[in-house]
Amino acid sequence: MTMRVQMPHLLARAGTVSALTLITLGGPAPAPGMAAEPSLASVSAKALQIAASKEGSPYKWGAQGPDSFDCSGLTRYSYRRAGRTLPRTAAAQYRHTEHVSRSSRKDGDLVFFHSGSGVYHVGIYAGDDRIWHAPKAGTVVRLERIWSRSVWYGRVP
């Protein structure tokens, strides 16, 4: 059965907004009245969208939102709003994630900047070698190109 044939049935069952969300995120249609566990892809897509919505918010050391952030505060806030819990620091977040290679990274994965074995910064991968992050004091949440080769990638379970 093609998507075109299923679409009227989805609209009738799930409602127009829900069906459009399902199409956009690519998730399965839940039965009416049933809560579906968000797929990993939809959680990471939502976290990425939440991070992007915080563009221009000021950096503040130790801040976890909703109006200001440090780097790990932004990732933690974004994923918490998307339905997943992350530890507080960038290093602890790295230990919490499923480590993935550069070639396997996907939008919404976390990007960890490291020096030797120590993680010192984190952002959310936005595709095309860019991340959403809260860079440092005196700056704001912004989209920026990855500037270093010393990065690791992690997928939030």
**Helix or strand or coil: residue 69?**
strand
DSSP character at residue 32: T
- Which is catalytic among the residues 71, 96, 99, 114? 71
Task: Reply yes or no on whether 99 is catalytic.
Answer: no
Residues 122, 151, 46: CA angle, nearest 5 degrees: 45
- Which is catalytic among the residues 9, 99, 114, 121? 121
Residue 10 phi/psi, 5° resolution?
A: -60, -45
Nearest to 60 by CA among 140, 133, 115: 140
Residue 43 phi/psi, 5° resolution?
A: -65, -50
Task: Reply yes or no on whether 114 is catalytic.
Answer: no
Question: d(Cα 106, Cα 88) in Å, to the nearest integer?
Answer: 22
**Helix or strand or coil: residue 79?**
helix
Residue with tokens 């990007």: 111
Residues annotated catalytic, as ranges: 71, 121, 133
